[in-house]
Chain A
């Protein structure tokens, strides 16, 4: 089945530093990938939609200069949390629609990245 690989699974960084999270589709091409954030005991919140070869589309309230998204190839999207602060500590998950099956078949998720900013 379709696999989305996300790395790293866990990261601890100091306040003020930047962290890059990678999301790769291993056996399919993904022109669109999605980035979510989940705080404890809350639902997944869509942060942005990453489009290969073009600018990402950010949800209202998400700072595009803080959460930099690059989708340089059909199999890789990256999210960089710049100048991280403790309030950015969260579970970040990417997802993609496998192949040509379309959104009616659901998305495949990466395994998530737990970011802790100290």
Chain B
């Protein structure tokens, strides 16, 4: 079983749609959690950290369920510029482990 698993997609949605990504992790000792965004042929950039209480940043909402070892990212009112690959990242004892990413394409 992979340490961090994501649905690879692709997710093709129209502008304005709401889309949700899920991620599961295998190591219960995981300490911190993140969503990164990676554009084609570019480095990953931190989108947001994920906290147990859930957190929101504008159109983006992240949730963490430690009992189920599950992380989610919700994007509301999708924009064309949201098109990218979204990486679920889990930190285990200072080791960052990446999911394979979920590809999102937002279409006009």
Contacts and interface: CB of A to CB of B under 8 A. Distances in A.
Interface of A: 6, 32, 34, 42-46, 91, 93, 95, 103-112, 114
B1 interface: no
Contacts of B25: none
Contacts of A34: 96
A104 B32 contact: yes
Contacts of B94: 32, 103
A43 B91 contact: no
Given A104-B49, A105-B49, A43 B43 contact: no
Given A104-B32, A106-B89, A46 B95 contact: yes
Nearest to B48: A106
Given A43-B98, A108-B46, 16 more contacts: A6-B43, A43-B87, A43-B101, A44-B87, A44-B98, A46-B96, A93-B44, A103-B32, A104-B32, A104-B49, A106-B32, A107-B46, A109-B43, A109-B45, A112-B42, A112-B43
Interface residues of B, number: 23
Interface of B: 4, 31-32, 34, 36, 41-46, 49, 87, 89, 91, 94-101
Nearest to A93: B43
A108 B42 CA distance: 13
Nearest to A42: B100
Contacts of B36: 106
11 contacts: A43-B87, A43-B99, A44-B87, A46-B96, A91-B41, A103-B96, A104-B32, A104-B49, A104-B91, A109-B44, A109-B45
